[in-house]
Amino acid sequence: MNRGYVVELAMSPRTTPLPRDIDELILLVLAKEAENESLKARLANLERLIFGAKSEKLVVLAAEQGLLDLGDLVEVAMPEAANDDRSKEPPRVTTSKPAERNIGALPAHLPRCEEVIEPESTACPCCGSKLHRIGETSSEALDVVPAIVRVKKTIRPKYACRACESAVVQAPAPSRVTTGGMASTALVAHVVTSKFAWHLPLHRQSQMFAAQGVKLDRGTLGFWVKRAAWWLKPLYERLLDFIRSQPKVFSDETRLPRLDPGRGRTKICQLWGQAVDDRPWRGPAPPAAGWVFAESRGADAIEAQLQTFSGILQVDGYIAYETLATRRRKTNGGEIQLAHCLAHARRKFVEVYQRTRSAAAMDVLTMIAEIYRVEAIVRGEDADRRLEARGLHSAPIMAALKEKLLATRAEISSQSSLAGATDYTLARWNGLTAFLTDGRIEVDSNVIERSMKSVALTRKNALFAGNAEGGKTWAILSSLIETAKLNGLDPQAWLTDVLEKIVTGRVTNDRLDELLPWRWKRAEAMAA
């Protein structure tokens, strides 16, 4: 580079003069370095969100981290450290799960279809005498019969009296999901389940029907889905009422775009989720998940949904939940205790370590891994035993973690990504340690996060809802089908039976609780 050009750059005018004091210059340089590190971190995070793997996974973990598989043991590229401390190169830890095979263990409940293969000849190849059977060899292979699309013809005979010739008797026409439509209840249930349980968008289903010679456009399938949601809405409301009646609920939200014709593009709306799962502590409540469509992500939306709820609300760090709890205290309504998600706090430090290899971030991750080690041991125990074990093992770790965070925060710049992760965790410390005071509380909100994956997969394939009503339909059907799956049911079998009972009037509104997935399952077991 030309020397004169360098001098020209150096002499370029500044908007503010540089300080003459050396200490002020050092502080200015350090602040600029911290600002640059923060901007680099934000850029790296955006690039990861757009182009990288959708996970918070580490290349290198300390030996203590490797003892507990948290689902993040996979290689990703690591940038150089910037403002945060560099860590020493820890040993590489890899884990692998044994291959799961079910060869020779085909399910006993499946029907068996026998195929007997006889030799081409039963004559002795030596002397020509007739052979006699002395035994057999058998083997089993899993088989499938492709879906059969058929026409179900309903015949209703008419009967008249020969004597008086005035009375004509005929069975009433069966009720259908779509009045006067051509779809049976089973077909509608199949379309709904394919979309919301197995994430097949309607246009793909239309193509699959076309491959079998049946022309069903996407609009027709969409109408069937909408009608199914209309019939199921009262049951969906019962499901939400049940969830909000529980003393401990998980909550989270995820985006759901919908078409906005006035703007010529989609509008980002929300599906707010609430879930219950007492299985980790042998509680009485069956697993359930419900979703509510809303136009916004504001605190008013979640406040309207949880008007009747009071108790423990386990959430991530989104500020709307803090606002909800604060408003509830001011109005003297049912108190809401927030329990925050340790996995979300952990994610912040994973991101820091991925970008900077900070030794301080690794220390935090190692301590959190010990917390999860304890949780793996107490999972499935009753609330009292969980609380006792946590007080003995987890409480000292969390106390040490807080001291570590406070000491780290005092030594680093406010502009660093490590400071951001530390501030996030300390600001929610009461909620993050709530599991130490109540054995029913989980350390994270993974219950609702796992249920949300089903919604995310459907959204990934379907892209958006057509309108607000489509968003409400999405919420209704996703809630009921996900709850059926959580209770170990075949969602299509459950949905077909439930729709049939509701449409035909065999189960009236005052008995809808009988059709909730966990009660339907018990009824089936008793009938068997």
Per-residue pLDDT at 18: 76
Mean pLDDT of 53-78: 42
Per-residue pLDDT at 65: 43
Q: What is the 3-state secondary structure (H, E, C) of 445-467?
A: CHHHHHHHHHHHHHHHHHCCECC
**Could you tell me which residues are beta bridge partners of residue 251?**
274
Specify the higher pLDDT residue, 139 or 157.
157
Nearest residue to 403 via CA among 425, 435, 373, 388: 425
Per-residue pLDDT at 467: 86
How high does pLDDT run on average in the chain? 84
Per-residue pLDDT at 22: 79
How confident is the model over 177-230, as pLDDT tens digits? 988 788 999 999 999 999 999 999 999 999 999 998 999 999 999 999 999 999
- What's the predicted TM-score (pTM) here? 0.78
Mean pLDDT of 141-157: 87
Per-residue pLDDT at 47: 67
Mean pLDDT of 346-370: 93
Q: What DSSP element (H or E) covers 260?
A: strand 248-260
Which domains occur in the chain, in start order? 56-92+342-443 (no CATH), 227-341+445-527 (3.30.420.10)
How confident is the model over 84-113, as pLDDT tens digits? 444 444 444 445 566 666 555 788 888 888
Q: Average the pLDDT over each of 19-33, 248-262, 312-326 and give the range with the smallest value.
A: 19-33
The Cα 516–Cα 509 span in angstroms is: 12
Kindly tell me if the per-residue pLDDT of 4 is higher than 90. Answer: no
Mean pLDDT of 479-507: 94
Residues 6+ apart with CB under 8 A from 164: none
Q: Is 186 exposed, middle or buried (0-12, 13-18, 19+ CB in 10 A)?
A: middle
